[in-house]
Amino acid sequence: MEKQYLLKGLDCPHCSAEIENEVGKIKGVKSSSVNLITQKLTVELEDDFEGDLLELVTKIVKKHEPDVPVEEITKKEHHDEHDHEHGESCSCGCDHEHDNHNHDHEDHVHHDEHATVFFLEGLDCPHCSAEIEHEVAALPGVESASVNLISQKLVVEAENYEGNLFADVEKIVHKHEPDVPVTLFEKEKQHVHEDHDHDHGHSHGDDDDVKKRIIKLAVGAVIYALAIILSEFTSLNIYVTLAIFIVAYVILGGDVVLRALKNITRGRVFDENFLMALSTVGAFGIGDYKEGVAVMLFYQIGELFQDVAVGKSRKSISELMDIRPDTANLKVGDDIKVVNPAEVEIGDVIVVKPGEKVPLDGEIIEGKTTLDTRALTGESVPRSANVGDSVLSGCINESGLILIKVTKEFGDSTASKIIDLVENATSKKAPAENFISKFAHYYTPVVVISALLLALVPPIFFHGVWADWIYRAFVFLVISCPCALVISVPLTFFGGLGAASRRGVLIKGSNYLEALNDLENIVFDKTGTLTKGVFKVTEVNPANGCDNEKLLKIAASAEHFSNHPIARSVVNAYEENGGNKVPEDALENYEEISGHGVSVVCDGHKILAGNAKLMKKENIEFEESNAIGTKIYVAFDGKFAGSIVIADEVKEDSAKAIKNLKAAGVKNAVMLTGDGKEIAEAISKKLGLDKFFAELLPGDKVQKLEALMQDEKGKTAFVGDGINDAPVLARADIGIAMGALGSDAAIEAADIVLMTDEPSKLLDAVDVAKITKKIVTQNITFALAVKFILLVLGAFGIANMWMAIFGDVGVMIIAVINSMRMLKK
């Protein structure tokens, strides 16, 4: 027994998968399947099922999607012209099983109404951002929290938060960064400020602020140099030189000490401000004035360099996302009005002049031009566009003036979605980033306590010299600052995501970028992924005196009423070869013969078109074709007229892409398809695939993928042509949408979106992932190794304060410079 339910408004792949899974576990339910496209839930029941299924299903649906109504569908038989599925029930009779798709999604996070985004303007401290993230995530009711230091955003997932989330977040932020205003971020308006009035003490990355900081450092450095000269080469009173050192210190590090004191009053002790203040003030206390000022000078230089590096990264990603213009030329009657793109509605007509960016998605209704799609696809070769062609926002109109009828609102346009995707990509952190965040959280307190023990234990218990061991402790503190890792690792991943975007590959999170390094198994859908998904007539084999033109004409007459791609390919082939359109009034007695083909009478002549079973059923002698592809056998007035072969073309770079992926470390390249074994085997051999599985239903594809993931090691990616492959995209470790330019559904469902339909883009994604991991590994290894060595040397009194400065500032600068290489990839 089977029941169907309409889940109107269901559009979340993850939720549909959860609903399908939970309904399938109801006692007495054999199976359940959600089709996200038709928004239908199909449930197969045991014969002895007892209970109110509608009530049970409604309860499960409401749990995941409270606003989606559940309505039971009364089944009724119907046919829509020649609408059919290929297989045993295929009424056109083609020897072809088309890839049918059922949709669900698993283990994918989608930003819904429970996600709140806060804009933390001026946040530039890696340590503080990590602490804010940690404390917000620990709030009761908060599922997750993620700080993106580059975009200065805090994303909080909280479904059932009790209390004022904004007030609680603001309290935590101001505990760590009193001068950073907290505002709610709104995508359409970029960000909206609450009523706050803050005196910002942080760098915003602008040129004026950088100049002021450089002047401040220069003045402090000159006074510091003067103090050294006076102390070394004159007999000036020691208190005078000390006063000059103090002036230099106040100029260079007064703000650091002040922040450290403020933080202590708020209960925050273990941060970089405390480390620097304690070590430098302590150096003054034991008479090492030069070292104390030097630590603060180089620390501030390092901070300036760090902020400049972050600013450049922000500028780099801003330039990457500068694909959406601020204005649109709206055509109102005979006039053109310059408006905000958000004011333009679907159906309005906009004018795009040569050299301008296309502000909204639409269709050209007048004019022709060439479009630069580099910002969207990474491809430098412009493409021509004429009346009737779709145009995506973010393209640059290179030549002619064009009029575009808008098909999507501003917020749903391709450019807006890409910008949102790139901006929020770093909210899904890679394991390496999570490790560094946790490491920094526990590392600093451990080091401070170790330094305290180093200063106290030897003098108290082993008669050590107090000044000597206190100095060693201060050296220990300076070396320990974790800035090199805390800023360089996220910076590298951010650069990697940007580099991939510039190549036309949108990666939804650092976690997916890192996962690509462990990719060993890659599974492809066939149609639209490895092949073009465009069916064409490849062979026309007339028989019994019939010629090519006549065979195409009678076959086109038979398939005239069908909108199926295979049927349309026959009609198109006839018309492209000079044939006139088939007159509908000449056709009569159209009949679908289930599982065999079709029958129609044209001008009094009976035409049969279908598979070999149809010819045998009608006792027509025919010659069976051995060609690879879908075969349609045609009979005219009871006599065999010939056969037509239709095939899907393989993409030009599919074979090369698979070869290069194997060279890059992929061990298994597999194809899953609903096509027949004969076609699948031919394509598999042509492309050099390791395995193929043919004649699969949507559920079969998921089972094959799961079996592969169970049998093979490493990460498994599935590459499909969009939302139609949602079940397998969902189940794979990495879901990759292929050829999804402009497809809202694909961008929503996949973890990685390739902005063209070229399989070779996978190589770009893997290449960027490997370079990113290499740089991250270099930075972690280098920073930890140098710090460990210097900490040991410092504990034994071998490393002095100058070596400690290198261990802190030097290591940080080297790591950041190494990270910034990703901005050029």
C-alpha distance across the termini of the chain, in Å: 57
Angle, CA of 205, 206 and 210, to the nearest 5°: 80
Catalytic residue among 525, 725, 733, 764: 525
Cβ-defined contacts of 698-706 (< 8 Å, 24+): 698/100, 698/101, 698/102, 698/727, 699/33, 699/102, 699/727, 701/672, 701/725, 701/727, 701/728, 702/727, 702/728, 702/731, 704/672, 705/523, 705/672, 705/731, 705/732, 706/731
Q: What is the 3-state secondary structure (H, E, C) of 19-80?
A: HHHHHHCCCCEEEEEEECCCCEEEEEECCCCCCCHHHHHHHHHHHHCCCCCEEEECCCCCCC
The H or E element spanning position 560 is none
C-alpha to C-alpha distances, 641 to 431, 614, 623, 635, 728, nearest whole angstrom: 64, 14, 10, 5, 42
Say whether 389 sits in a helix, a strand or coil.
coil
One-letter amino acid at 818 equals N
> How far is it, in rounded angstroms, from Cα 780 to Cα 434?
13
> How many beta carbons lie within 10 A of that of residue 708, not counting itself?
19
> How far is it, in rounded angstroms, from Cα 558 to Cα 566?
12
DSSP E strand boundaries for 353-482: 362-366, 369-372, 383-385, 390-391, 396-397, 402-406
> How far is it, in rounded angstroms, from Cα 537 to Cα 554?
15
Which residues, including other chains, have CB under 8 Å from residue 58's CB and lie 6 or more apart?
A: 70
φ and ψ of 595, to 5 deg: 75, 0
Pairing of strands 715-720, 734-737: parallel
> How far is it, in rounded angstroms, from Cα 550 to Cα 546?
6
Cβ(375)–Cβ(323) below 8 Å: yes
Which residues, including other chains, have CB under 8 Å from residue 676's CB and lie 6 or more apart?
A: 95, 96, 97, 694, 695
Verify whether residue 525 is a known catalytic residue: yes
Helix axes 483-502, 126-137, angle to 10 degrees: 90
What is the four-CA torsion angle of 812, 815, 820, 821, rounded to 10 degrees? 160
One-letter amino acid at 458 equals P
Cβ(756)–Cβ(504) below 8 Å: yes
Angle, CA of 774, 779 and 783, to the nearest 5°: 150
Q: What is the set of active-site residues? A: 525
